[in-house]
Amino acid sequence: MASNDPHRPLPGTFRPPDSGWWETSTTRNAQVAPPVSLSAPFPPVWEQPRARGAGALNIILAIAAAGITALVLLFLSVSLGPSALVLCGVLALIPLAICLLGIRWIDRWDPEPRGALLFAFLWGAGVSVVVTLLLGNYVVELLGAALTTTPDDVIGPVLQAPLLEEIAKGFGVLILVYTRRSHFDGPVDGIVYAGTVAAGFAFTENILYFGTAVIDTGSTGALVSVFILRGLFSPFAHVMFTAALGFVLGLAVSRGGGSRRVLPAFVVGLVPAIAGHMLWNGGTVILFSDFFSFYFYVQVPLFLAAVLCVILLRRSERRLTEARLGDYARAGWFTPQEVAMLATRPGRQQARAWARSVGAKTDMAAFIRTASRIAYTRQRMLGGRHDAGDAAEERFLLDEATRRRSRILQIAGNRHA
């Protein structure tokens, strides 16, 4: 198939023998059998290897973040005592689990690499906390000198904490933009990475707050009160703040332009993140006289608006996947039926159910993930971010999808032989 589009991949030589090969036995009685040609190895269609890019840097950064997080936990153990640390850590796991489940729901369509998410969590739980603790007093002094008429109870929680904490968390997201470029494709990815950084930060911060409640009062009543307010009423607070930055960064990345767009977007994205954090911390100090009025009139509507935004972004992700895979279908790499399978939730559910029935669950999951990566790689190329690394990544992923399809059909054929 000839084309003048420089971004269009070379047409593949393989097509599945049956457009409905993934259908479940409840909708289809025919036995699935791969053609004989599937047993033969695929001839290579390119020679350029895929560049590994910043793989070593990713490992170094993850190890450094893990080391800093370990030091933070050691500091907490000394400050609070081992028994208090264990108690507060267990309590902090509850809001953390709520946040991570929410982030996983957001990330279901095109899951991010676990290594990148681990780094994001460690950056939030370790590096961001260390930066905040080391620089907190200096920033308070600077703000106090500049705002001499502002009360201390406003400078600390309402000004210093949002400013310093969001910048510290934000740098972790910015690092991921550059070190995980092939997996940082748009606003949803930005929200996922930023939310994971924030979840890590909130986890450590909750341990500090819970521990302080125990040490200062010596009663379990204060601990329960702080746990309910922070852990159950507002577990997503930090996630929402930093997610605003992640959204802006992801939007800039999806439009291309490299650092010319990313660095200004980082500064712009900090504005809603810091402002939201200031509003959250200052609501009961400046706007409302009691927590529950502020919670139901401000916090709940903001949370619902954030959920609605995520739902709309996830729909956009699905439409983008369908459109970009359609390009490859016209080039011969997928059939239209496969595009419907890979770009719709019912299609994916049906394919996974069929794969489980024939023993190809793992390969089907990899096939779906690879197809999503193909779609976003092409979107980057069409958005002006095309380079030799993207071309090699595209070709690697297309080969991987072809091999996965072949393996799935072989497993199914052996099962029904």
What pLDDT was estimated at residue 28? 41
Q: Is residue 304 part of a domain?
A: no
Confidence of residue 214 (pLDDT cuts 50, 70, 90): confident
Confidence of residue 220 (pLDDT cuts 50, 70, 90): confident
Q: Is residue 103 part of a domain?
A: yes
Provide the sign of the torsion angle of the four alpha carbons 222, 223, 225, 230, taken in this order. positive
Residues sharing a CB contact under 8 Å with residue 49, sequence separation 6 or more, in sequence order: 392
State how far Cα 101 lies from the chain centre.
Answer: 12
Mean pLDDT of 320-327: 93
Average pLDDT score, the chain: 85
What pLDDT was estimated at residue 2? 39
What pLDDT was estimated at residue 153? 83
Q: Is residue 200 part of a domain?
A: yes
Residues 244 and 101 in one domain: yes
pLDDT greater than 80 at residue 335: yes
Confidence of residue 30 (pLDDT cuts 50, 70, 90): very low
| CA distance linking residue 42 with residue 57, whole number of Å | 33
What pLDDT was estimated at residue 219? 75
How do residues 58-114 score in pLDDT, each as one tens digit?
Answer: 789 889 999 999 999 999 999 999 999 999 999 999 999 999 999 999 999 988 999
Residues 241 and 332 in one domain: no
What pLDDT was estimated at residue 284? 78
What pLDDT was estimated at residue 20? 66
What pLDDT was estimated at residue 14? 37
pLDDT: is 147 or 218 the higher one? 147
Report whether 240 contacts 155 (CB < 8 A): no
pLDDT greater than 60 at residue 17: no
Confidence of residue 257 (pLDDT cuts 50, 70, 90): low
What phi and psi, each to the nearest 5 degrees, are found at residue 215? -70, -45
Q: Give the count of domains, the chain.
A: 2
What pLDDT was estimated at residue 42? 34
Paired tokens of 273: 């993140």
Q: Is residue 310 part of a domain?
A: no
What pLDDT was estimated at residue 289? 77
Paired tokens of 159: 């000004």
Range of the domain at 327: 320-416
pLDDT over 90 for what percent of the chain?
Answer: 61
Query: First and final CA of the chain: distance in angstroms?
Result: 35
Residues 193 and 279 in one domain: yes
Residues 390 and 267 in one domain: no
pLDDT greater than 60 at residue 46: no
What pLDDT was estimated at residue 415? 79
Residues 110 and 162 in one domain: yes
Q: Is residue 78 part of a domain?
A: yes
Residues 134 and 262 in one domain: yes
Q: Is residue 332 part of a domain?
A: yes
pLDDT greater than 50 at residue 15: no
| CA distance linking residue 26 with residue 131, whole number of Å | 57
Confidence of residue 39 (pLDDT cuts 50, 70, 90): very low
Paired tokens of 347: 């299609």
Confidence of residue 1 (pLDDT cuts 50, 70, 90): very low
pLDDT greater than 60 at residue 386: no
Residues 223 and 356 in one domain: no
| Residue finishing a domain among 287, 305, 332 | 287
Mean pLDDT of 181-196: 92
Residues sharing a CB contact under 8 Å with residue 173, sequence separation 6 or more, in sequence order: 120, 190, 193, 194, 197, 242, 245, 246, 249
Q: Is residue 224 part of a domain?
A: yes
Q: Is residue 77 part of a domain?
A: yes
Mean pLDDT of 333-337: 90
Report whether 330 contacts 322 (CB < 8 A): no
Report whether 324 contacts 379 (CB < 8 A): yes
Residues 266 and 339 in one domain: no
Confidence of residue 16 (pLDDT cuts 50, 70, 90): very low
CA distances to 187, 201, 344 from 212, in Å = 36, 17, 48
Residues 240 and 324 in one domain: no
| CA distance linking residue 108 with residue 116, whole number of Å | 15
What pLDDT was estimated at residue 275? 96
Confidence of residue 393 (pLDDT cuts 50, 70, 90): confident
What pLDDT was estimated at residue 19? 53
| CA distance linking residue 347 with residue 352, whole number of Å | 9
Residues 369 and 266 in one domain: no
What's the chain look like in SS3? CCCCCCCCCCCCCCCCCCCCCCCCCCCCCCCCCCCHHHHCCCCCCCCCCCCCCCHHHHHHHHHHHHHHHHHHHHHHHHHHCHHHHHHHHHHHHHHHHHHHHHHHHHCCCCCCCHHHHHHHHHHHHHHHHHHHHHHHHHHHHHHHHHCCCCCHHHHHHHHHHHHHHHHHHHHHHHHHHHHCHHHCCCHHHHHHHHHHHHHHHHHHHHHHHHHHHHHHHCCHHHHHHHHHHHHHHCCCHHHHHHHHHHHHHHHHHHCCCCHHHHHHHHHHHHHHHHHHHHHHHHHHHHHCCCHHHHHHHHHHHHHHHHHHHHHHHHHHHHHHHHHHHHHHHHHCCCCHHHHHHHCCHHHHHHHHHHHHHHCCHHHHHHHHHHHHHHHHHHHHHHHHHCCHHHHHHHHHHHHHHHHHHHHHHHHHHHHHC
What pLDDT was estimated at residue 12? 40
Report whether 362 contacts 407 (CB < 8 A): no
Residues 115 and 251 in one domain: yes
Lowest-pLDDT range of 93-107, 122-136, 170-184, 380-394: 380-394
Residues 138 and 232 in one domain: yes
